[in-house]
Amino acid sequence: MNEVDVSVIIPCRDERGAIASVLQGVPDGYEVIVVDNGSTDGTADVAAAHGARVITEQRPGYGSAVHAGVLAARRPIICTIDGDGSMSPNELPALVERLCAGIDLAVGRRRPTRPEAWPVHARAGSVATAWWLRRRYGLAVNDIGPMRAIERDRLLALGIEDRRSGYPVELLVRAARSGMRVSECPVTYTPRTAGRSKVSGSLAGSVRAGRDFLAALS
């Protein structure tokens, strides 16, 4: 595998202030797909101006945006990362290297640089869900993060149905049930560079995501 094998999917909604810096950090040679999921601030225009291939997904939800990007991808390896600047695309190659070493799904374990990068109300749902995945399926995961790498065909074959915040949880559940080799890779997690998170930015957003997590575990 090399850089021409990778498509990076960046789901976005109102990330105009952050998306340019994210795109500038994507490794050379990666196909970049920004999925605009209902932005009203011109995110798509900024992304296109910085060389990204932009597609639109009208159905709201993180899972909807990621799935649309997967369908549009032209490369055999899929990577995902948020468009808010909280994680660096420069760390994606480390996840891709895990696939080269025989891992089926590489997921980023967030390492916050400051407490405000990952508020307690946002972290609680991920910690509890990861504990359940370890207990129920034996998956050695400690986080439910948005950075990951997987072969496109393997991802589509899992048949993930969640189109909201439960998408990454269902991905891990289905990966475990199918016997995939899953490996965590530490990634730096910083405060978003602009705007407010739709999930961790409020208690209500975190509660909604938590409900989606629980639904995906059932």
CATH architecture type of domain 3-217? Alpha-Beta Complex (3.90)
Looking at residue 123, the DSSP 8-state letter turns out to be: H
* Measured torsion, CA atoms of residues 116, 107, 91, 78, in degrees rounded to the nearest 10: -130
The pairing of beta strand 77-80 with beta strand 148-151:
antiparallel
Structure confidence at residue 204 as a pLDDT band (50, 70, 90): low
- Rounded to an integer, the average pLDDT of 133-161 is 96
- Rounded to an integer, the average pLDDT of 81-85 is 97
- Rounded to the nearest 10 degrees, what angle do helices 203-217 and 167-177 cross at? 20
Kindly list the domain boundaries of the chain, sorted by start residue.
3-217
The two structure tokens encoding residue 197: 């998170």
For the chain, the straight-line distance linking the first and the last C-alpha, in angstroms and rounded, comes to 35
- pLDDT of 209: 57
Q: What does the pLDDT look like over 29-41, one tens digit per residue?
A: 999 999 999 999 9
Structure confidence at residue 194 as a pLDDT band (50, 70, 90): confident
- Rounded to an integer, the average pLDDT of 63-75 is 98
Rounded to whole angstroms, the Cα distance separating 186 from 32 reads 22
- Beta-bridge partner residues of 188: 111
- pLDDT of 206: 53
